[in-house]
Amino acid sequence: MEENENRPFRIAKLAGKGCCLVATRDIAPLEIILSDRAAVVAPNHESQPVCLGCLQIVDGSYVCPLCGYPMCSLECSMCSVHTQECTVLRGVQHDGEGLNYKIVAVIRLLNLRDSSSHLWE
């Protein structure tokens, strides 16, 4: 049995719409029919200060000792996600209000491209 046979939808091309999912049976309210995992997670560029390790809101009382970005703890400042971007962030000026959070997603995407080509593809 093919994996696609159990799905409650099929992929179709509709004139004027392009590729879309079309139900193949009734779908119950709140039924999960498709799930995916984010390739990268980063703060919103308009966010209030958040920890770059766990994305929890922070008060700015602790910052990464290397790049100066707000973090919630030394543990988060040493997490693998942040250590990969920390070197780049060291050279970026910031005002503590998240004005340069917009580059975090870009750095994380470039790190993904360079370290996990199977996810990038």
Per-residue pLDDT of 71-102, as tens digits, reads 999 999 999 989 989 999 988 776 555 458 88
Per-residue pLDDT of 47-60, as tens digits, reads 888 999 999 999 98
Measured distance CA(47)–CA(31) in Å, rounded: 31
CA distances from 7 to 10, 33, 82, 120 (A): 7, 7, 37, 25
pTM over 0.75: no
- Over the chain, what is the mean pLDDT? 86
